[in-house]
Amino acid sequence: MAMLELTINGKVVRAEVEPRLQLSDFLRDGQNLTATHVGCEQGVCGACTVLIDGKPARSCISYAVQNQGREITTLEGLNGDPLMQDLQQAFTGQHALQCGYCTPGMLISAHDLISRKGALDEAAIRHEMSGNLCRCTGYMGIVAAIREVGLKHSNGQQMAPNISGNTGFGLGREVPAFDLAAEAEVHTAAAVSLASGPPEPGWARLEQAFSVGQDMEAVWQYFSDPANIAGCFPGARLTAFDGQDIAGSMDVKFGPITASFSGSGRFDLDAARRRGVLQGSGADKRGGSRVKANVSFLLVPGDDGLRTDVKVTVDYLLSGPLAQFGRAGLVREFASRLSRQFADNLNRAMTGGDAGADMDGAGGISIISTTLSIIWAGIRSLFSR
* Domain count of the fold of the chain: 3
234 & 365 share domain:
yes
Give the CATH number of the domain where residue 135 resides. Answer: 1.10.150.120
Residue 12: is its pLDDT beyond 80? yes
For residue 293, give every residue at least 6 positions away whose Cβ sits within 8 Å of its Cβ, in sequence order, or none. 278, 279, 280, 281, 314, 315, 316, 317, 378, 379, 382, 383
Residue 19: is its pLDDT beyond 80? yes
216 & 362 share domain:
yes
Beta strand 236-241 with 204-212: parallel, antiparallel or unpaired? unpaired
Q: Is residue 228 part of a domain?
A: yes
Strand partners, 112: none
Q: What is the mean pLDDT of residues 94-115?
A: 94
Average pLDDT, the chain: 76
196 & 257 share domain:
yes
* Higher-confidence position of 373 and 208: 208
Separation of alpha carbons 199 and 3, rounded Å: 41
Nearest in space to 385 (alpha carbons), one of 214, 175, 235: 235
Q: Is residue 19 part of a domain?
A: yes
Query: What pLDDT sits at residue 234?
Result: 60
34 & 55 share domain:
yes
CA separation, residue 278 to residues 106, 184, 289 (Å) = 35, 9, 20
Q: Is residue 290 part of a domain?
A: yes
Domain boundary among 77, 110, 131: 77
> What region, left, alpha or beta, does residue 175 occupy, with left being phi > 0 and alpha being psi -120 to 50 degrees?
beta
Domain boundary among 137, 163, 189: 163
Q: Is residue 176 part of a domain?
A: no
Query: What pLDDT sits at residue 313?
Result: 83
Domain boundary among 35, 54, 77: 77
Residue 326: is its pLDDT beyond 70? no
pLDDT band at 323 (very low <50, low <70, confident <90, very high): low
360 & 326 share domain:
yes
Domain that holds residue 113: 80-163
71 & 91 share domain:
no
Within 10 A of 228 (CB to CB), how many other CB atoms are there?
A: 17
pLDDT, tens digit (0-9, with 9 covering 90-100), for 138-174: 899 999 999 999 999 886 554 433 333 333 222 223 3
pLDDT, tens digit (0-9, with 9 covering 90-100), for 234-285: 667 788 888 888 888 877 655 455 667 788 888 888 999 999 888 888 888 7
Q: How many CA atoms lie within 13 A of 142 on its CB side?
A: 30
pTM over 0.85: no
Give the CATH number of the domain where residue 368 resides. Answer: 3.30.530.20
Q: Is residue 174 part of a domain?
A: no
- Rounded percentage of the chain residues whose pLDDT exceeds 90: 37
Distance of CA 245 to the CA centre of its chain: 25
Residue 208: is its pLDDT beyond 90? no
* Higher-confidence position of 95 and 383: 95
Q: Is residue 21 part of a domain?
A: yes
Separation of alpha carbons 291 and 277, rounded Å: 16
Separation of alpha carbons 7 and 252, rounded Å: 36
CA separation, residue 85 to residues 79, 92, 117 (Å) = 8, 11, 18
Strand partners, 296: 277, 313
257 & 154 share domain:
no
Which phi and psi angles does 116 have, rounded to 5°? -85, -40
Give the CATH number of the domain where residue 22 resides. Answer: 3.10.20.30
Q: Is residue 301 part of a domain?
A: yes
Q: Is residue 173 part of a domain?
A: no
Based on the number of CB atoms within 10 Å of its own CB, is 115 exposed (0-12), middle (13-18) or buried (19 or more)?
exposed
249 & 358 share domain:
yes
Nearest in space to 328 (alpha carbons), one of 207, 150, 233: 207
Residue 56: is its pLDDT beyond 70? yes
103 & 185 share domain:
no
Query: What pLDDT sits at residue 69?
Result: 95
